[in-house]
């Protein structure tokens, strides 16, 4: 099974500090990064953007690719492609699939994540941020925060 998702981040409005978005899935009672299965004919990057929007209500700008995660679900292999992605607005609306989101500083997000594999992907995002500011190829910085 192929899936894709993002480690979604933003800068806190007042402090400018990095925040990571986690989703709570009531079906599994877990905290994870937004992700989901690829639809037939859909590329992994398109699926990642779609899943982030569906699960968090936030459109995003994907940036650095992060490690692909492999694990078993009911004895079947699952492969999840990840990107770091900046949230660009939006608002969360609860659903049956995701009932809560939280925006946390990286250390708190790392502690809240249920699976070690999700911590590894978060750690990978943080290593791409040498100055604490994620880079997006082809993007220029904007003024005003």
- Quote the distance between the C-alpha of residue 74 and its chain's center: 23
Q: How far apart are CA 15 and CA 13, in angstroms?
A: 6
Task: Report the percent of the chain where pLDDT is more than 70.
Answer: 89
Q: Distance of alpha carbon 45 from its chain centroid, rounded?
A: 12
The whole domain housing 67 covers: 2-127
| pTM (two decimals) | 0.87
Residue 97 belongs to a domain with what CATH number?
3.90.79.10
Residue 118, in any domain of the structure: yes
Owner of token pair 């082809």: 138
Residue 54 placed within a domain: yes
- What's the pLDDT score for residue 128? 87
**Is the residue at 26 inside a domain?**
yes
Averaged pLDDT, 70-83: 95
Band of the pLDDT at 132, cuts 50, 70, 90?
low
Contact assessment for residue 6 and residue 86, using Cβ atoms and an 8 Å cutoff:
no
145, part of any domain: no
């Amino acid at each position: 099974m192929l899936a894709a998702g993002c480690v979604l981040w933003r800068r806190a409005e007042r402090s400018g500090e990095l925040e990571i978005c986690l989703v709570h899935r009531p079906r599994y009672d877990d905290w994870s990064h937004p992700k989901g299965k690829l639809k037939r004919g859909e590329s992994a990057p398109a699926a990642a953007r779609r899943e982030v929007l569906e699960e968090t209500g936030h459109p995003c700008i994907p940036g650095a690719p992060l490690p692909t995660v492999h694990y078993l679900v009911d004895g079947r292999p699952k492969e999840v492609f990840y990107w770091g992605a900046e949230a660009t607005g939006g608002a969360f609306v609860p659903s049956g699939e995701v009932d809560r989101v939280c925006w946390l500083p990286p250390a708190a997000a790392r502690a809240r994540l249920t699976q070690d594999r999700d911590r590894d992907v978060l750690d990978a995002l943080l290593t791409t941020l040498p100055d604490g500011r994620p880079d997006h190829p082809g993007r220029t910085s904007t003024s005003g925060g």
